[in-house]
Homo-oligomer: A and B are copies of this chain.
Amino acid sequence: MTKVLVVDDEPQIVRALRINLAARGYDVSTAASGQEALRVAATEHPDVVVLDLGLPDIDGAKVIEGLRGWTSVPIIVLSARTDSGDKVSALDAGADDYVTKPFGMDELLARLRAAVRRASTVPAGEEAVVETQAFTVDLAAKKVIRDGAEVHLTPTEWGVLELLVRNRGKLVAQKQLLQEVWGPSYASETHYLRVYLAQLRRKLEPRPSRPRHLLTEAGMGYRFEP
């Protein structure tokens, strides 16, 4: 769930935002001052911050700087001031977007979605590594390691293995494998599966004739067991 930190000293705005955001499935935390905002951001690690500039204690730009000192979380600034100087300084301090009050909730939500989308498509460096006793599959790098050495797979071999690993523990029907790897018109070429599962076992299983990870479910399909 996406976590939003709302920072504003006006209770009615906090309330309105909380209700709207919660209704759309966001996990909302709030802060009423700059000090509190910095503290809550540090403990909660929100995915996006909505920050009002007119806070009672610290200047808004200082809050932005305080956050930017250690995080690159998207910051959307709210402000009653339409003065372009304010916008420029907030954006240059590290804010991602600037919305002037009074604002439309639709627009704010759209800008929030845009900010979250940007931030989430960025760190594509997800760990997509699945290990077994015999070998390791790296889905992102499209690599298989066995006994410290990389095992070379052909495109079709990789297609079959990837589908099984992505559904690890689950039975994958023969028809599904054939359709997703070879295409919709190959749904009944079950022989291909036998050939390619044999090849994968030969390359990956310690004892290909007694597979421990690439298992057959007779008449139904195959299963990858980590």
User: Chain A: residues with CB nearer than 8 A to chain B?
Assistant: 72, 84-85, 87-88, 91-92, 94-98, 104, 106-107, 109-111, 113-114, 117-118, 121-122, 124-125, 140-143, 152, 154-155, 158, 169-171, 217-220, 223
Contact = CB atoms under 8 A, between A and B. Distances in A.
A155 B220 contact: yes
Contact of A141 (B96, B107, B121, B171): B171
B122 A110 contact: no
Contacts of A142: 170-171, 217, 220
A193 to B, nearest CB: 15
A121 B123 CA distance: 11
A132 B116 CA distance: 36
A160 to B, nearest CB: 14
B111 A91 contact: yes
Given A84-B106, A85-B106, A220-B155, A114 B140 contact: no
Interface of A is mostly: mixed
15 contacts: A72-B121, A84-B104, A84-B107, A87-B106, A87-B110, A91-B110, A92-B110, A96-B114, A118-B118, A140-B170, A141-B223, A142-B220, A143-B171, A154-B219, A155-B218
A108 to B, nearest CB: 9
A169 B141 contact: yes
B88 A154 contact: no
Nearest to A155: B219
A220 B96 contact: no
Contacts of A170: 140-143
A137 B217 CA distance: 16
Nearest to A143: B171
Contact of A114 (B95, B109, B141, B219): B95
A10 to B, nearest CB: 21
